[in-house]
Amino acid sequence: MNIELGRGKTVRRAYGFDEIALVPGNRTLDPQLADTQWQIGGIERSIPIIASAMDGVVDVDIAIKLSQFGALGVLNLEGIQTRYDDPNPILDQIAAVGKEDFVTLMQKLYAEPIRPELIRDRIQAIKSQGGIAAVSCTPAGAAKFGQEIAAAGADLIFIQATVVSTAHLSPESVQPLDIAQFCSDMSVPVVLGNCVTYDVALNLMKAGAAAVLVGIGPGAACTSRGVLGVGVPQATAVADCAAARDDYQQETGRYVPVVADGGIVTGGDICKCIAVGADAVMIGSPIARAKEAPGRGYHWGMATPSPVLPRGTRIRVGSTGTLEQILKGPAQLDDGTHNLLGALQTSMGTLGAKNLKEMQQVEVVVAPSLLTEGKVYQKAQQLGMGK
């Protein structure tokens, strides 16, 4: 439905996850029967969760453990893992610095050049222990290091920026990455993002994307929406891009997964992502809360250390449980941030969805009061959904 914002400006209403709810259908099923299998780049996974390519979220060890659990972790190849032989002292500095000096310190630490030999070493370290080597870089990083990443044995390459499109304009002195050519030349599946619209998602699929990431600015540590004023609430963005996926499959026969990236904190958020069309989710802050996470209880975004326009901050998320408890339980918290897989399976059982494709077809309603209705005591006592 279009709304007249003012004379000459008509806008469309968009929705976030907090504004919608999932409606049970005519049947239910035991959560153990809920099949959460999915594929990305020909790789089968049993948990539709990807850990974000952020330095406080994924290192070599986390990537290996996530692979073992049936999920996936993406290593940031333009972060501190590829700038320093030993990232641990750097992570200690980031965790210890005060708020006032944080941005300056980050810009200094991330000014250290990326070292190609460390790209190779990190990828091979993941592979040597049986992990899936999924790695991320910007379009500029892909143009510079793409062949080295493939030669090192990476299983998946994520090309990520605030917005990635196939129609990027650059100054005459700058040669932009030809995304379609890059996808065609690479021997490794390429995941592209981020986007929030039907048209851009469709163009990325036509360019050869193995999957598309959806989301601009909803991340817990991201400030892009405030700094740039850009973004589309995630429920609407995911639904629009999922429509592009379905139309593209009908036209070509090729299925390109849509991954909701950002703004996802609880199991309920994951359930809603899939219900509006996502095949999987990419999450940062929930994994940053794992005791094994490299961030020491902190979380920050990929654009945080930008030397010219930082679009992110460092947030304190704490360490609330092990990686296994957060992913698969048993839950020790009552706020939906532990046992994310169990939450998804239980929701699917409640909704009668036997697999993710059926979960994408459940009824969704607009429900602004979903998270507040009847929760007076929880809010007053800061318990459960009132935290």
Distance (Å) of CA 123 to CA 120, 185, 288: 5, 20, 21
The catalytic position among 222, 241, 271, 273 is 222
Could you give the CA distance from residue 307 to residue 363 in angstroms, rounded to a whole number?
45
Would you say 254 and 299 are in contact if contact means Cβ atoms under 8 Å apart? no
Q: Label residues 48-67 b or e (16+ Cβ within 10 Å = b).
A: bbbbbbbbbbbbbbbbbbbb
Instruction: Note if 222 is an active site residue.
Output: yes
The catalytic position among 27, 115, 254, 316 is 316
Q: DSSP secondary structure string, 316-384?
A: E----B-HHHHHH-----SSS-S-HHHHHHHHHHHHT-SBHHHHTTSEEEE-TTTTTTT-HHHHHHT-G
8-state DSSP, 230? -
- The tokens for 373 are 């209705």
Number of continuous H segments (helices) and E segments (strands) in the chain: 15, 16
Query: Strands (DSSP E) along the chain, which ranges?
Result: 2-6, 9-12, 20-23, 38-40, 43-45, 49-51, 72-76, 134-137, 156-160, 190-195, 211-214, 258-261, 280-283, 298-300, 314-316, 363-366
> Residues with catalytic annotation?
222, 316
